[in-house]
Amino acid sequence: MKDIIIIGAGPAGVSAALYAKARGKDLLLLEKDRVGGLISHVSKVSHYASLADNESGEEFSQKLKDQLAFSNIDVTYEECLSIEKKDDYFLVKTDKNTYEGKKLIYATGSHLKDLAIDYKGFDVKHWPYGNEESLKGKTVIVNGGSDGASKEALYIAKFAKEVHIVQNQDSLMCIDEFKKQIEASDKIKVHTGTSLKDLEIKDNKCVKAILEDCEICDENGIEIYVQIGQNGSTDLIKDLANVKNTFLDEEISSQVDGLYFAGDVRIKDVKQIATAVADGTLAGIRASK
């Protein structure tokens, strides 16, 4: 029987683990994929205090791993399949084992949405980091105009021939810092008030992208990236929590005894590393009491 089971090793889950471990708790940190969650994929981590200049998500993820190792916290890489609340403990089943914990912190974060179109077997990607070679000299479409999409579009522009940002809103939704860089780039064209509707595939290449108001063509192939928002990873907890539009409509301390929520899986005004770490800190401390 563990004192605390933490599901998810993103910034929220890692923070919760560090604070619980410091309070002498016997804990289990479960992660199905990679430490850092979504942030581990980004080309550049921005606006978090103490970051090095141009620090990638991969580098940030490694720092989280190093901090866990320093605190003697192991990450158990297993996929959670179910969560049950028993009288005075939680039963968590994974693809490999079954665990029991007196308290549970749910910090599973979110995952990126896909476009509601037929990709026709074409490899549409989410993250450019690690795909730099495939971007060189290419025409690239980035779907989405948020901070995340705009930041990745700027990274892609370092390698690509031209970048088209497709935003279904009337204007880019990103912060001024990114907007000014996009406006100053001679490689980036912004398409607002429109969406990608269809693809034309030839010899495993996308040679034409059909938007609502125009077409983007390149016989050498078009690379397509999707950054149109996120869905909360709430399937495992929906019987124990209030879910609204795939996210948890819950405070950090839930109404279920011993159950806590942290990070981007929650509905919040601001979703940043800083707010995820804050959630994890509070969840870890409260679960340790």
- Domain locations along the chain: 2-112+230-288, 132-226
Residue 105's closest CA among 212, 229, 210, 248?
248
Q: Check if the beta carbon of residue 42 is closer than 8 Å to that of residue 57.
A: yes
The pLDDT of residue 242: 98
The pLDDT of residue 53: 84
The pLDDT of residue 52: 82
Same fold flag, 2-112+230-288 and 132-226: yes
Which H or E element spans position 141? Answer: strand 139-143
Q: Residue 161 CB: number of other CB atoms within 10 A?
A: 14
Per-residue pLDDT of the chain (289 residues; tens, 9 = 90+): 999 999 999 999 999 999 999 999 999 999 999 999 999 999 999 999 988 888 999 999 999 999 999 999 999 999 999 999 999 999 999 999 999 999 999 999 999 999 999 999 999 999 999 999 999 999 999 999 999 999 999 999 999 999 999 999 999 999 999 999 999 999 999 999 999 999 999 999 999 999 999 999 999 999 999 999 999 999 999 999 999 999 999 999 999 999 999 999 999 999 999 999 999 999 999 999 9
- Global pTM reads 0.95
Calculate the CA dihedral of residues 186, 211, 233, 97 and round it to 10 degrees: -90
Residue 12's closest CA among 35, 44, 43, 28?
35
Sheet of 215-217: strand order equals 196-202, 205-211, 215-217
Longest Cα pair distance anywhere in the chain, in angstroms? 63
Q: Which fold has domain 2-112+230-288?
A: FAD/NAD(P)-binding domain (3.50.50)
246: left (phi over 0), alpha (psi -120 to 50) or beta: left
Q: What architecture (CATH level 2) is domain 132-226?
A: 3-Layer(bba) Sandwich (3.50)
Instruction: Give the three-state DSSP class for 114.
Output: coil
